[in-house]
Amino acid sequence: MPKLLHISDVHLDSRFAGLGLPPDLAAARRAEVRQAFTNLIGLAAAERVDAVLIAGDLFEHRWVTKATINAVREALHGLGDIPVLIAPGNHDPLVENSYYLTQEWPGNVRVFGRGRDGRVHPGLEAAELTALGLTVWGYGSYRYDSDEDVLAGAWTALSAAGGRGRRVLLFHGSDTTTVPEGVPLFQPLDPHRAAAAGFGYVALGHYHGPKAKTVDGALVVYPGSPEALNFGEPGDHGAFLVTFDTDGPFRAEFRRVGRRSHVTSQVDLTGVTGDDEALARILGAAQPEARRTDLFRLTLVGRLDPDLGLDLQDIRRRAAESFGFIELSDETRPDWDLEALGRGDSARALFVREVLAAIEAEPARRPYWERVLAAGLSAFEGRAVSR
Ligand SMILES: [Mn+2]
């Protein structure tokens, strides 16, 4: 049974910026991304796939080194006669000095959008995989930003062309029926139109979480980044192995490749009696092996005895000894007895009643008013404000 490997969004040589990673960890993550790509090529060879589809953002054009590009070319060359089809995305677009254009690529590699003259020729192109009875239509992005419906003109011609059902679309863009929060819209694609144009498998890239769904009989898949790139990319990461019969539907099986997960969660400190117990709760957020490997962004929550006075700096320092990477933010709140504190004619009672009224009037700003309350009550008691 024919088999394909569908990869996307490897983001080789991503800087891992904006995460607050120490430089050596960011460098380790870049090496792990390179390793994830090597592992995927190894998977393609081990599974004896008939073709490899790369749906864009293979590398970050702005940061990728020549050494990385050479390693990629060598790895793809190592696949021998297994065809590798690449549809560049918005991080590795076919700009003038793109390595896709300036470098020789092995004979088994085809980059959609790169003409025989080594220049950009935008538009949807067909690659016939005759041995598989499959036509892969691909589009090479050549811009960093584009909210243009670049396939708009292609659908009618596609509907008229032969080979329905045994067609694959390889494309980097946004499935307009499910746009994840915070992901910029890039080359919008309506999967219903792709299904109507006869594509049985829609091999997408751009969204970084793995997703597979059936739309009007077409299997529409985002493999996601094989190694998670930030805290917006929780869960398992990898690629999809795709199989199909001559007449049957396409099937896609997820294979995990990513080494480290990004974990965002809360740790409830309600009821702790001191630093040691708080630390124990934080360590309890993950298994010891996961603490070493995965990256954690934990928020401390819950209501604490106002007299407890946790030493957060010390807790942070001790937690860091057990975690490979941990970010701790404190959203705990003192467990004041507000009803009692708000009774009477004291300035403090008046203050408490005013703040409670403000919270009631502006529930959306509750976190702000609770900080006001904590600061004010601490001041009334001559206590230092923690944070
Ligand atoms: Mn991407």
Give the tens place of pLDDT for each residue, 105-134: 999 999 999 998 999 999 999 999 998 989
Does the reported pTM lie above 0.75?
yes
> How many A from CA of 353 to the centre of ligand 1?
50
Query: Cα–chain-centroid distance for residue 120?
Result: 28
| From 26-30, 162-166, 279-283, the region with the lowest mean pLDDT | 162-166
- Three-point CA angle 106, 109, 115, nearest 5°: 100
Banded model confidence at residue 381, pLDDT cuts 50, 70, 90: confident
Please give the pLDDT value at position 156.
83
Please give the pLDDT value at position 166.
86
Banded model confidence at residue 20, pLDDT cuts 50, 70, 90: confident
- Cα 159 to Cα 26, 54, 165, 209, 248: the distances in Å are 46, 24, 11, 30, 20
Please give the pLDDT value at position 159.
77
> How many A from CA of 224 to the centre of ligand 1?
8
| From 121-125, 267-271, 313-317, 378-382, the region with the lowest mean pLDDT | 378-382
> How many A from CA of 184 to the centre of ligand 1?
10
> How many A from CA of 64 to the centre of ligand 1?
14
Is a pLDDT exceeding 80 seen at residue 247? no
Cα Rg of the chain (Å, integer) = 27
Question: Torsion over CA of 85, 89, 94 and 100, rounded to 10 degrees?
Answer: -40
Output 337 or 295, whichever has higher pLDDT: 295
The answer to whether the Cα torsion of 110, 116, 121, 124 is positive or negative is negative
> How many A from CA of 205 to the centre of ligand 1?
7
Task: Report the mean per-residue pLDDT for the chain.
Answer: 93
> How many A from CA of 307 to the centre of ligand 1?
48
Here the tokens at position 7 are 């990869």
Amino acid at 365: R
Q: Tens digit of pLDDT for each residue in 186-238?
A: 999 999 999 999 999 999 999 999 999 999 999 999 999 999 999 999 999 99
Other CB atoms within a 10 A radius of the CB of residue 31 amount to 9
Banded model confidence at residue 163, pLDDT cuts 50, 70, 90: low
Please give the pLDDT value at position 125.
94
For residue 96, the 8-state DSSP code is T
> How many A from CA of 183 to the centre of ligand 1?
9
> How many A from CA of 14 to the centre of ligand 1?
10
Please give the pLDDT value at position 266.
97
Q: For the chain, which residues make up each domain, given as ranges?
A: 3-256, 262-380
> How many A from CA of 206 to the centre of ligand 1?
5
> How many A from CA of 102 to the centre of ligand 1?
22
Is a pLDDT exceeding 90 seen at residue 137? yes
- Cα 89 to Cα 60, 110, 143, 145, 188: the distances in Å are 10, 14, 8, 10, 13
> How many A from CA of 258 to the centre of ligand 1?
15
Question: What average pLDDT does this structure show over 250-275?
Answer: 95
Output 128 or 156, whichever has higher pLDDT: 128
> How many A from CA of 208 to the centre of ligand 1?
6
- Cα 125 to Cα 8, 171, 261, 384: the distances in Å are 19, 11, 36, 67
Backbone angles phi, psi at 108, to 5 degrees: -85, 0
CATH class of residue range 3-256: alpha beta
Is a pLDDT exceeding 80 seen at residue 246? no
Backbone angles phi, psi at 77, to 5 degrees: -60, -35
> How many A from CA of 185 to the centre of ligand 1?
12
Is a pLDDT exceeding 70 seen at residue 346? yes
Q: Which residues pair with 256 in a beta bridge?
A: 238
Q: Which residues pair with 158 in a beta bridge?
A: none
- Cα 289 to Cα 134, 258, 260, 267: the distances in Å are 44, 15, 11, 18
Please give the pLDDT value at position 114.
97
- What strand order describes the sheet that includes 109-111? 109-111, 84-86, 51-54, 3-7, 238-243, 251-256
> How many A from CA of 57 to the centre of ligand 1?
5
Dist. CA 316–CA 281, nearest whole Å: 13
Is a pLDDT exceeding 80 seen at residue 162? no
Question: What average pLDDT does this structure show over 168-195?
Answer: 94
> How many A from CA of 41 to the centre of ligand 1?
19
Banded model confidence at residue 384, pLDDT cuts 50, 70, 90: low
114: helix, coil or strand? strand
> How many A from CA of 254 to the centre of ligand 1?
18
Question: What average pLDDT does this structure show over 38-53?
Answer: 97
Q: Tens digit of pLDDT for each residue in 72-96?
A: 999 999 999 999 999 999 999 999 9
- Percent of the chain at pLDDT exceeding 70: 98
| From 45-59, 77-91, 366-380, the region with the lowest mean pLDDT | 366-380
Question: Are 113 and 140 in contact, with CB atoms under 8 Å apart?
Answer: yes
Question: Are 347 and 306 in contact, with CB atoms under 8 Å apart?
Answer: no
> How many A from CA of 7 to the centre of ligand 1?
11
Other CB atoms within a 10 A radius of the CB of residue 278 amount to 25
Is a pLDDT exceeding 90 seen at residue 161? no
> How many A from CA of 271 to the centre of ligand 1?
43
Output 370 or 46, whichever has higher pLDDT: 46
> How many A from CA of 229 to the centre of ligand 1?
10
Banded model confidence at residue 386, pLDDT cuts 50, 70, 90: low
Dist. CA 201–CA 191, nearest whole Å: 10
Here the tokens at position 204 are 């997408």
Is a pLDDT exceeding 80 seen at residue 7? yes
